Amino acid sequence: MDVAVVKQLRRIRTLGRGASGAVVWLASDEASGELLAVKSAAAGGAAQLEREGSVLTGLCSPHIIPCLGSRAAECGEYQLFLEFAPGGSLADEAARSGGCLPEPAIRAYAGDVARGLEYLHARSLVHGEVKARNVVIGGDGRARLTDFGCARAVDSLLPMGGTPAFMAPEVARGEEQGPASDVWALGCTVVEMATGRAPWSDMNDLLAAVHRIGYTAAVPEEAAQRQVHRSAALGSPFVASAAAAGDYKAAPAKQQYTSPKSTLQDALWDSDTDDEDADETPAERIGALACGNSALPDWDSEDGWIDVCHQVHRGADSPPADVGYDLVWPEESDAEREPSAVAADDSNGIPRNAVVTDSSIWQYSL
Ligand SMILES: Nc1ncnc2c1ncn2[C@@H]1O[C@H](COP(=O)(O)OP(=O)(O)OP(=O)(O)O)[C@@H](O)[C@H]1O
């Protein structure tokens, strides 16, 4: 019987890390050299990541990061396998450009995000956390939406969430989170690209900022100047010109690791976890809106440099099954992670035609 190892992935290093505990790794396929991003959550965040994967799996747009598969590991950990975006996030790109991006680049990236949102909204989905850190630049130089941890159906009864500084007024007030809220956040992202800072970063009290968003007519100054109109992103003068002009084409990013950097201000979020002593204050309710995964990653961590063994053994017979996209994660040298196979159509774990050994996965040809 033919036996074939489908893919052996080698973990290279950390690309990003969220407050929820999710970590995004760069990994390479040993055989082809193909690079992948692996978003991984421990047991506590596994359900949220699985939900994120189920949203992403149904999407297909050049402006949304493709999900290539997923797997649930024995220890309760969950992993999403994503197309690697070698340009990193828009926040990384702004940092590389000295803190902010030139206007042609902002127009082009905003146009890409607007098209991604248009695609989502046409499917009655809301991203829920548009910001520079959640938009990555693909190998073709175009921007793609990522991080669907706060994504929701338009009519969802799930709690609203997102990153406070990017919240639209109706989200800050806890009223609704719809397509217009994403467009507001796109405007905030334009501010971020233009200034290198999140909107409202002049305010050092998070809850005061969210109260200002929700209960005053204030708008981020740059967004107003750039006329990013929340009710019609692609129709707005600023973004429409990006869509039509073609005045900027980002250089295709090389298929290589790009060191992530932060230009955002951690201090803005310091009060996010502060306890409020009053039971039913607006501030408390506003504070509860923040998604658990909305804080900034720890870019300074030394984690992620892990050598991976790729010892393999031949397996025994196993019944065949229909399996789509399969990946194999070999056992790591630190023995922290169990090896297993990944199938896009079997998010619960090992494909039925796979054989697990102590150190690898073998899979029968179908
Ligand atoms: N496909 C990818 N290719 C390259 N880098 C990526 C990819 N996906 C994510 N990253 C990097 O990892 C970072 C974190 O990813 P993501 O936002 O999905 O994680 P998260 O845990 O939900 O973080 P948070 O919610 O705090 O933004 C991104 O800002 C980006 O720098």
pLDDT above 90 coverage of the chain, percent: 45
Backbone angles phi, psi at 329, to 5 degrees: -110, 105
Q: Decide if 144 contacts 63 (C-beta within 8 A).
A: yes
Nearest CA to ligand 1 atom 21: 18
268: its two tokens: 């803005």
Give distance in angstroms: CA of 177 to centre of ligand 1: 22
Q: What is the pLDDT of residue 220?
A: 75
Pocket test for ligand 1, best of 96, 129, 146, 256 (most atoms within 8 A of CB): 146
Q: What is the pLDDT of residue 221?
A: 65
Range from 192-206, 311-325, 329-343 carrying the lowest mean pLDDT = 311-325
Extract the annotated binding site for ATP. 39
Query: What is the value of pTM for the model shown?
Result: 0.70
Rounded CA separation 194/91 (Å): 11
ipTM of the prediction = 0.96
CA separation, residue 144 to residues 88, 94, 114, 134, 151 (Å): 10, 15, 10, 9, 15
Give distance in angstroms: CA of 313 to centre of ligand 1: 34
Rounded CA separation 70/348 (Å): 8
pLDDT greater than 80 at residue 230: no
Q: How many CB atoms lie within 10 A of CB 120?
A: 24
Going along the chain from its start, the domains and CATH numbers come out as: 7-81 (3.30.200.20), 86-231 (1.10.510.10)
- Could you tell me which of 85, 80, 50, 49 has the C-alpha nearest to residue 67? 80
Q: What is the pLDDT of residue 97?
A: 94
Nearest CA to ligand 1 atom 18: 147
Average pLDDT over residues 56-67: 96
Q: Decide if 281 contacts 328 (C-beta within 8 A).
A: no
- Could you tell me which of 58, 9, 51 has the C-alpha nearest to residue 34? 9
Range from 35-44, 89-98, 141-150, 357-366 carrying the lowest mean pLDDT = 357-366
Q: What is the pLDDT of residue 307?
A: 26
Q: What is the per-residue pLDDT across 231-289, written as a single tens digit (0 to 9) for each?
A: 445 556 666 665 554 445 565 554 443 433 332 323 333 333 333 333 445 445 444 44
pLDDT greater than 50 at residue 198: yes
pLDDT greater than 70 at residue 323: no
List residues near ligand 1 (CB under 6 A). Answer: 15-16, 18-20, 22, 24, 37, 39, 65, 82-85, 88-89, 92, 133-134, 136, 146-147, 149, 260, 293-295, 297
Average pLDDT over residues 298-314: 30
Q: Decide if 296 contacts 266 (C-beta within 8 A).
A: yes
Atom of ligand 1 nearest to the CA of 133: 29
The average confidence (pLDDT) of the chain is 70
Q: What is the pLDDT of residue 240?
A: 61
